[in-house]
A = this chain, B = another copy of it.
Amino acid sequence: MCPAGSSRWCPTPEQVMILEEMYRSGVKTPNATQIQQITSHLSFYGKIEGKNVFYWFQNHKARERQKLRRKLTKQLQLQQQQLFHHYFDSLPSPAFQHHSYYNSPPPFPQVT
* Given known contacts A41-B94, A98-B22, A108-B26, A33 and B75 CB-to-CB distance under 8 angstroms: no
List the B side residues contacting A98 at CB < 8 Å.
18, 21-22, 25
State whether B112 touches A37 (Cβ < 8 A): no
State whether A54 touches B17 (Cβ < 8 A): no
Question: How would you classify the secondary structure of chain A's contact residues: helix, strand, loop or mixed?
Answer: helix
**Which of the four size classes fits the interface of chain A?**
35 or more
State whether B69 touches A17 (Cβ < 8 A): yes
Query: What separation, in Å, do the CA atoms of A31 and B13 have in the docked complex?
Result: 29
Chain A positions within 8 Å of B, measured between CB atoms, are: 13-14, 17-18, 21-22, 24-38, 40-41, 44-45, 49-51, 54-55, 69, 72-76, 78-79, 81-83, 85, 88-96, 98-99, 101, 107-112
* Given known contacts A25-B107, A94-B41, A36 and B89 CB-to-CB distance under 8 angstroms: yes
Query: What separation, in Å, do the CA atoms of A73 and B31 have in the docked complex?
Result: 13
State whether B31 touches A78 (Cβ < 8 A): yes
* Most chain B CB within a 10 A radius of its CB, from A17, A89, A93: A93
